[in-house]
Amino acid sequence: MRIAALMTALAVCAGALAEESPAPTQRGDLGVRYWLSTGETKRSHNAQSFDPALGNPTSVLLYENLDANVLEIFGRQNFAGRWFLKGFLGIGRVNTGSFDDEDYRTGQFKFLDTTSSVTQGRIGYGALDIGRNEWVLGEGRTTLGVFIGYSQWTEDVDAYGLTTTVDAFGLGRDEPNSVLVITNKLIWRSLRLGFAADAALGARTRISLDLALIPYSKFENEDRHHLRGDLGPVPNILYDGEGRGVQLDAEVRYEIRPRTELGLGLRYWYMEASKGHRTTPNRPDIPRLPIVELYSERVGATLSLRRAW
């Protein structure tokens, strides 16, 4: 619902600015973009093969409200008629968020629940695509193309403090916000298959859409439980597996001067695991455990400035 509302707002904005005029031919562009977003990551596993008294899922870890600021560079080069090469590279900071850790026994009896504050983190990503404009309409005013490419998305966050809200067996403890409890790093390396559209709505207004489907992705997740001496030195819990997802960018652009455009857009990324396992490298007595769920989501508004040639 939130995404649909933002997309509607973009369409209304584009229609209000539209004027009739042919679009200039462009060989390529280069620009900078700011992304203001919020995200979450959730994962869980089933440890009943290790202890049948545990629940399924056994442990559920949720990082949410991960607000971030990112600055990126992006570009596109057209060549050999209708072919194009495009990409982007971004780096930023996760500013706030929360971490919740729930543990269950059989019958999904919650015996432990703790919360922590995410006070800092890092986000980085990039993509490179090659594609072809299969349809060029209205003397170049509208282009519809397909592409294939590769992307990598990394988030690395630190959670501090510990507040125990459920403690059925007296296993929990509280820690002040000065204590680093857990560090989590999740990397998605993905194949992108997508659709790119660009349309001139008037003399100075354009709308663009970039939709990448992720049919295959490899993920690596690293947990550093800094207070869990029973798990050995960090990193002490690892996840790996395969997944899929989607990456969507929609933007309305307005020409503020010849071949220089200011853009306002929406970006939504979602990745989920299709299969994977959890391992404890310092505990050979604990078997490789199947994951139940693992996903990452990030959504937010973008503001860009680009120069065409």
Domain ranges for the chain: 2-308
Is residue 11 over pLDDT 70?
no
Residue 281 is predicted with a pLDDT of: 97
Q: What is the pLDDT of residues 154-184, one digit of tens each?
A: 999 999 999 999 999 998 899 999 999 999 9
Hey, is 2 helix, strand or coil?
helix
Please tell me which residue, 194 or 6, carries the higher pLDDT value: 194
Work out the mean pLDDT of the chain and round it to a whole number.
Answer: 92
Residue 36's nearest CA partner among 76, 86, 101, 96 is: 96
Residue 4 is predicted with a pLDDT of: 43
Residue 25: pLDDT band with limits 50, 70, 90 = low
Return the half-sphere exposure (C-beta side, CA atoms, 13 A cut-off) of residue 24.
15
Q: In angstroms, rounded to a whole number, what is the distance separating the alpha carbons of residues 85 and 106?
A: 53
Is residue 263 over pLDDT 60?
yes
Q: What is the pLDDT of residues 104-157, one digit of tens each?
A: 999 999 999 999 999 999 999 999 999 999 998 887 789 999 999 999 999 999
Helices (H) and strands (E) in the chain, counts: 1, 10
Residue 15: pLDDT band with limits 50, 70, 90 = very low
Hey, is 13 helix, strand or coil?
helix
Residue 5 is predicted with a pLDDT of: 45
CB 309 within 8 A of CB 47: no
Enter the CATH code of domain 2-308: 2.40.128.90
- Chain centre distance of CA 21: 37
The mean pLDDT of 58-80, rounded to a whole number, is 97
